[in-house]
Structure formats: structure tokens, C-alpha cells
Structure 1
Amino acid sequence: METLRTGAAANACTDTASITETKPPAYRWVVLFVVWIAFLLSYVDRVAWSTVAAPVGHSLGISVALLGAFVTAFYVGYVLANITGGLITDTIGGKRTLVWAMIPLGIATFGFSFTRNLTVGFAVQFVMGIAAGADYSAGVKIITAWFGKDRGRAIGLYSTATSLALVIANAIVPSLATAFSWQTAFRALGAVTFAWAIVCVLLLRDSPLKALSVRISRREIGELVKNRNLVLLAFAGCGALWATVGFGAWGNALMTKQYGIAPVVAGSISALFGVGAVIAKPLLGWGSDLLRGRTKLLAIGVLLCFSAMLLVFAQCSTVLQFYLVAPFLGAVAFGYTPVLIAQVTQASGVKFAGAAAGLTNAVWQSGSAIAPIAVGQVYASTHSFFMALLTLAVGPVCGAVLLIFVNLRKAPAINDSTMRSDSTPAVASN
């Protein structure tokens, strides 16, 4: 039986080699679009609360210190789900994993509209996090299988979903809440998310070829966990996401609480924050493809700029100043993600791209889970806009220091030869 499986995998790899050596399949752009929209909707669902936290939190009787509790609840569930989500992705395939993440996420987002107190909201957001926990690793797995050595630019485009989600959430959710109600906004998001799961069923494919599903052994999981580069990248990303998600959760509320800026205006400022990120991500992802061997330096530079821009933003006090700084802060607050993801897939190889993405993202998102509560406590005790952002700025600096010790020279590079040898067995068939 093992011989048959090996032989079948070898034949599939030969076919993959011929595809790689000829013209890449055009359908990969359709695949990228489908997983991109799925990731965008997932992120809109998770940041929607942040856009209405200040006014709605008051109506629900939630204190300032606990406004970030719902975000933390989401990310606690998200971290737990990521631990197994990547392994599931490498076992049953990205398509099935993504579909089974989107369906319950749509239902839970719709259900959040019935929240009446902190306890219920916390529980529903936790469920939303569990449901969304595998979308990221599934997307990275599918993109790596379809794009191979060109994954940097593809991941750069894929990761713009989180930035554009901030623009959409800040532009639409507060307006819907004002015109109708915040409950209507969440019900609309839930319905659209569920509908896109159906689109994934109809259009998404795991790879250019029908391939064998390979279950990852315990020994291989152990090797991933012990991979020094992956460990360093995991904790570096944790420091970076600490600041990104912490700012996403508190940026609007801080501007509203500290300077009396209207929620709709604060939302438009955060929308510019997202615009800067949308522009920077594909450019930096493309740069990671061009700067092979020097990607680490690019990531370090972006993280240090992120910390610096947080401190610049902390010195702002007028709407005009916030408008001017927001796009530049957004560019570095999200721009590092395609660069780090590309390094993760290089450190793991294509075969374990899903598991590596899931496991590292679980560590990354632990920073996301802690930051909103930590910043809330700092602001509640100091009432200082600067101290809240200084708390966030520490994370990217720590991440940059950890990246200094990453060495990917001996890592399994994702190139044509890699695609021939191990990419196809790693993906499940439709």
C-alpha cells in the first residue's frame, strides 16, 4: 500500500513539475480571489465590534476597561482553533477546512446581534474565534500550492484582506449602526459570510491537480514545533500582532474617549490606516520575492518603523494630524505580514505550510488576545493616549530583536524543485 501511495505521489509530482515548468494555470487567480474574499469577510467580522465599541458598550453597561474584552474573547478562541486548524488543513485540504470555518462564523456573527450583556457577548465572540480559527492556515496552504515560488506577491495580495477589512468595517459598520442599529450590521455581516461559504464550495480548488491527502505524523509535528526558525518567527509575529490588533481594537475608542472625535470621523481615520496597509502589503510581498536571502532585514526594518510610527501617532491631537499620519502607520502596521508569512512557508517547506502557518499564527494571535485587555487597563489607569500607544509599541521592537536570530539559509526553499518533490502530496483532493 505504501508503495502504491509513493508511486501515485511521484506521478502527481511529475505532473506538477510539468505544470510548473510550463505556463502557470490562470485559474490560480480565481482561487486567490476566493480565499481573499473569505479572509476579508472573516476579518470584517472580527473587527466590527471595535468600530462601535464606545457607543454600544455604554448602552450595554460595559466599562471602559472592558471595552476590549469582546476582542480578547474572539482571539482566545482564534488562538485555540489555530493550533489544530493548520493540522486539519494539511490533512483534509484547504477547501474543506475553509468552508467548515466560514459556515459557523457566519452563523455566530449573526447570533452576536442578540447580545445583551458582557457574558453573552464574550461567549459568542469566543465561538466566532473558534469558527474563524482555520481560515488563515487554509488560505496560506492553498496559495502556496497554487503559486509556489511566486508566493510572496500572492501572499502580499492575500494579506491585503485584513487591511481592506478595516477600511470596510470602519466605513460601513458605524454607518449601518447609525442608520439602523448595530444589531442590523452584525446580521448583515453574518449573512454575507455564510453566503461566501457557498461560493467557496462551488469555485475553490485545493491545487492545480487532484492530489493525495497526507496525514501528518506525530514525529513530523514534533519537528515543526522544535524548528528554531519557526519558534523565532512565531514569537516575533506575536510581538508585531500585539501592536496591530491592539491598535485595531482601541484606535477608534481612544480617539473618541481622549479627544472627543465622533465615531464616524474616527472610523474614517482608521479607514485611511487600512488604505496605507492595502498599498504596502503587495509591494512588500513582492519585495520579499525579489530580496531572497535578505527578507529578514526587510521585516526588521518594517517592525522598527511600526514602533516609531505608533509613537508619532501618539503625539497627534487634532483630526488633521490623525488623517496625515494614519496611512503611514497603516503601511507599517500591516506591511510586515506577507514578509513574515513568506519566511514561515520557507522555514517549513510546502508540505507542512498549513500546519506551520496554523501553529505560528496561534502564537501570533496570543498577542492579539492579550493586547486589547492590556491596553484597556493601561488607559483606564493613566487616561493617557501616549501611554496606551507606548504599550503597543513595545511589541514590534521585541519582534525585530527576535528576527535577528532567524537563519533561513538551510531552510527548505520553495522553488520549482520543491514543487516537484513535496507540494502535491501535501494537499487534499476535492
Structure 2
Amino acid sequence: MGPLTPEQRRRRWMALAIVALAYILSFFQRFAPAGIAQDLAAAFQTSAASLGVLAATYFYIYTLMQIPTGILADTLGPRRILALGGIIGGLGSLLFGFAPTLDLALVGRTLVGLGVSVTFIAMLKLVAVWFEENRFATIVGICMLVGNLGSVLAGAPLSAMAQATGWRGVFIGVGVISLALGVLCWLIVRDAPTATGEAVRPRFDRTVVLSSLLAVIRNRATWPAALVNTGMSGSFFTFAGLWATPYLMQVHGMERSTAANHLSLWFGGFAVGCLFIGGLSDRLGRRKPVMIAVSHLYVAIWLLLLSCVTMPLSLSYLLFALLGLSTAGFSLTWACAKEVNPPLLSGMSTSVANMGGFLCAAIMQPVVGWLMDLGWHGEMVGGARVYDVGTWQNGVLAVTLCAALGAAASWRIRETRCRNIWQAA
């Protein structure tokens, strides 16, 4: 990439700021069910398995959209798909907020997942096109830090707002903001630093697109990064996206506000970790050792959660902050996938690496709920089911095994020394 003019530099930061705001909403929508799980269970009189399906609907559609989004980012460009995504996601959030039944809530969550599914891959494409290659992980880390404000808001702040004003009003407001950001993406974002704003990209030709996608999928170096992402982000999305708050309340006897504070610490640690780990990897000029270290620390913390051991509150807070920092390790998987594939296909390569975690969460959230329902003894509090420690351990074990998969795959990551090492055959 050649040097940018001052106007182009200004435009890239403006565009990135708008997309980062959309990414905040994406993270908020992803983790919001955890902060209001008890409210949703009571509002729709649902079991753990049905609640898992409601939360997982977002992840199902998000997973299905990852490869199409990568293709669209490389062909149509980020601007168009970001604008359309903001509108669809906004309408879905409005429907979810107004939904009188579980069925309509499911439709709303599906539209939300469809709308926000394009945000991250489009953001990665913008960073890949507008910024220098050796700054990719650092810039993505900054975006993750900002985006994670949404997950932090989905913890204690959402819980407090839901108790004060009701959860429906929150999602209606988020829907309006999403619609506004969709319009801003169309007005401000440009696909590339060229005179026309149009990027050089593959022709929108089915044969070209499929051959490009197959090239990424057939590249064996793509898959270790995808598996690390599957294990680490899949376990993160599964538990933090729905089960963390009920787990802390029912296993450790915490008040709802205290449990929500733990969730916010997890998200906050993740936000800081994305910035720190991406920057550390870029400065060291290494990907693999950093990935191995954080993924194994992540599994160790999950083993503590699985034990359900009682600990002082201060130590519990520290553990969740550390959990957040280690969770951020999977943010390197996008750089790892991008750097072993053709630069022109950065959208497809990052989307392939990214889809595993969402697929894992889509499957695991209902599975964890099903495991919980198997051990339920009929106890109800405030219209929501209550589970004993042994039942919770069954659910947490399934999530811990996902985390272990990610750690095992980290040993197969190909070291790129933070540069693109793809070679044409």
C-alpha cells in the first residue's frame, strides 16, 4: 500500500470509528441474553434448553453468514454490507424488544444475528485495505477494545437498566441506534483509499468466488487458526453469552448485581487483552508462542470454574479479570489465517477462521441447557429454573472441553512472523 494523503488518513479513522460503534452494538447483542437471562426466562416462561435456543439463534445465523460475508467483503466491499447490516439488525432489535411471544423473539434475534454478522469481517477488511500490514493485529486489537464496550454494557449496566426500566426498552433503543449507524456507514465508509473509493477486488463471478473460497479452505495452514478460534471463542460465547450470570448466582450464591459485575470484568479483561495481546504479538514479531501461552492459561481457569470451588470475592473478581485477558488470545487467529492466505482474500480467510467459534456457540448453548435440564429437580425461583452444583458441573464440563480443543490446536499454528507468507503455487 502506497502512502496515504492527509485526507485519506482522516477518512480512514472516521470510517473506522463509525464501524467500531457498530461493532459495539454487535458485541452488546451477542452477550445481552446473559445479563437478562432470568428476565427472559420469566417473560417467556421457558426452560433452560429453550432459553439456550433463543440465545443461540444469533449464533446460528451469524455462523451461516461468515463465509458469505467474507465473499461479499471481497467482492461488493464493506460499505454496502455494513449499511444493509445496520438496517436489518436495527429492525431485528426493535422486533425483539416488542415481541409478545417466544416465537417472535426468536425471529427478532435471527434478524439481529443476520444484521450484525457482517460487521466484524467488514471491519477486518477495512483494516487490511486501509492500514499497513505490520499494524494489522494492533489496529484490530484497538477495535476489539472499543467493541468490547458493548460486552461490558451487556453485563452490569444492562442488568441495572433492565431492573430499572425493563429489558424491552433497552433493545428498542439499541434498534434505533443501529438504524442510524447503518445510514452513517453508507455516507462515510469507503471501500479503499482510491480516488473513487472502490477497492480492487475479485470479480463477482461465481467461478472466481468459489475457486477463491476453496483455495482458502484447502490451505491446511488455515485450519489450526480456525480450530483455536472454535475452541476459545466458542466456549467464551457459549458461557458468557448466556450461562455465566445464572452459574454465579446459583453455584456461588451471588447477588445478581455481583454476578453481573463478574461478567463485566470478564468482558473488560477481554477488551484490554485484545489490545495488549495483539500489540505484544506485533512487537515480538511472533504469533505461535503467544497463542500457546494464553490458550493454556485459559483452559487452566476453566478447570477452576469446573471445580465450583468457593473462593473469596476479591479472588473471584481477579480470576474473572484474568479469564478475560486470556480469552483475548483468540483475537490473534484472524491475523494467523490472513497471513497464510492471499492478501486479496483477507475477507474470506478471516471469515473462515471466525465462523468456528460461532458455530460452536450455536451448538453448545442449547446443549448446555439440555444437560442442565436433565439434572433439574423441579425447583423454581421467580419463574426461572434453579439447578444444583452437580448439574452445573455437567454443563461447565462441556464448555471446558471446547476450551481444551483450542489449546490443543494452538500447537499447530504456522508461525508467520507477523507478515504474509503465502506463496503462489
Where on the TM-score scale, by shorter chain, does this alignment land: which range? 0.7 to 0.9
Structure 1 residue 123 corresponds to structure 2 residue 107:
yes
Structure 2 counterparts to residues 19-418 of structure 1, below 5 A: 19=4, 25-149=9-133, 150-209=135-194, 210=197, 211-215=199-203, 216-248=208-240, 249-292=242-285, 294-313=286-305, 314-316=308-310, 319-333=313-327, 335-382=328-375, 383-384=388-389, 385-409=392-416, 413=420
Do the aligned partners of 1:153 and 1:285 also contact (CA within 8 Å) in 2? yes
In the TM superposition, what is the alpha-carbon distance from 1:317 to its structure 2 partner? 5.5
SS at match of 1:217: helix
Do the aligned partners of 1:112 and 1:186 also contact (CA within 8 Å) in 2? yes
Alignment CA distance shift 1:24-1:132 (3 Å): closer
In the TM superposition, what is the alpha-carbon distance from 1:139 to its structure 2 partner? 0.7
Alignment CA distance shift 1:412-1:377 (3 Å): same
Alignment CA distance shift 1:165-1:95 (3 Å): same
| Greater Cα shift, 165-174 or 91-100 | 165-174
Q: State the distance in 2 between where 1:84 and 1:135 align.
A: 13
Uncovered stretches (5+) of structure 1, i.e. residues with no partner: 1-15, 419-430
Q: State the distance in 1 between where 2:221 and 2:332 align.
A: 14
Do the aligned partners of 1:148 and 1:414 also contact (CA within 8 Å) in 2? no
Q: What RMSD, in angstroms, separates the aligned Cα atoms of the two structures?
A: 2.6
| Greater Cα shift, 60-69 or 135-144 | 60-69
Do the aligned partners of 2:20 and 2:147 also contact (CA within 8 Å) in 1? no
In the TM superposition, what is the alpha-carbon distance from 1:312 to its structure 2 partner? 2.6
Q: State the distance in 2 between where 1:411 and 1:218 align.
A: 27
Deviations 1:280-331 (A, max 9, x none): 1111111221232x31121121111111112234424564443232111111
Do the aligned partners of 1:155 and 1:341 also contact (CA within 8 Å) in 2? no
Uncovered stretches (5+) of structure 2, i.e. residues with no partner: 376-387
Name the aligned partner's letter for residue 200 of structure 2: L
Deviations 1:314-371 (A, max 9, x none): 42456444323211111112x1133111112112232111111222222231112122
Alignment CA distance shift 1:217-1:136 (3 Å): same
Do the aligned partners of 2:82 and 2:186 also contact (CA within 8 Å) in 1? no
Q: State the distance in 2 between where 1:101 and 1:271 align.
A: 26
Do the aligned partners of 1:239 and 1:398 also contact (CA within 8 Å) in 2? yes
Alignment CA distance shift 1:119-1:212 (3 Å): same
SS at match of 1:43: helix
In the TM superposition, what is the alpha-carbon distance from 1:162 to its structure 2 partner? 4.7
Alignment CA distance shift 1:162-1:180 (3 Å): same
Q: State the distance in 1 between where 2:340 and 2:153 align.
A: 33
In the TM superposition, what is the alpha-carbon distance from 1:65 to its structure 2 partner? 3.4
In the TM superposition, what is the alpha-carbon distance from 1:75 to its structure 2 partner? 0.5
| TM-score (norm: length of structure 1) | 0.85
In the TM superposition, what is the alpha-carbon distance from 1:255 to its structure 2 partner? 1.5
Alignment CA distance shift 1:36-1:337 (3 Å): farther
Do the aligned partners of 1:315 and 1:386 also contact (CA within 8 Å) in 2? no
Q: State the distance in 2 between where 1:177 and 1:414 align.
A: 49
Do the aligned partners of 1:163 and 1:275 also contact (CA within 8 Å) in 2? yes
In the TM superposition, what is the alpha-carbon distance from 1:379 to its structure 2 partner? 3.1
SS at match of 1:68: helix
Alignment CA distance shift 1:18-1:125 (3 Å): closer
Alignment CA distance shift 1:410-1:319 (3 Å): closer
Alignment CA distance shift 1:43-1:159 (3 Å): same
Do the aligned partners of 1:233 and 1:344 also contact (CA within 8 Å) in 2? yes
| TM-score (norm: length of structure 2) | 0.86
Do the aligned partners of 1:137 and 1:357 also contact (CA within 8 Å) in 2? yes
Q: State the distance in 2 between where 1:212 and 1:265 align.
A: 50
Deviations 1:230-271 (A, max 9, x none): 122212211112211122121012122334433232212211
Q: State the distance in 2 between where 1:59 and 1:322 align.
A: 30
Alignment CA distance shift 1:125-1:23 (3 Å): closer
| Greater Cα shift, 149-158 or 375-384 | 375-384
**Identity of counterpart residues, as a percentage?**
22
In the TM superposition, what is the alpha-carbon distance from 1:69 to its structure 2 partner? 1.7
Do the aligned partners of 1:42 and 1:193 also contact (CA within 8 Å) in 2? no
Name the aligned partner's letter for residue 359 of structure 1: V
In the TM superposition, what is the alpha-carbon distance from 1:153 to its structure 2 partner? 0.3
In the TM superposition, what is the alpha-carbon distance from 1:223 to its structure 2 partner? 0.8
| Greater Cα shift, 241-250 or 195-204 | 195-204
Name the aligned partner's letter for residue 103 of structure 2: T
Q: State the distance in 2 between where 1:62 and 1:317 align.
A: 32
Do the aligned partners of 1:240 and 1:303 also contact (CA within 8 Å) in 2? yes
Q: State the distance in 2 between where 1:118 and 1:98 align.
A: 28
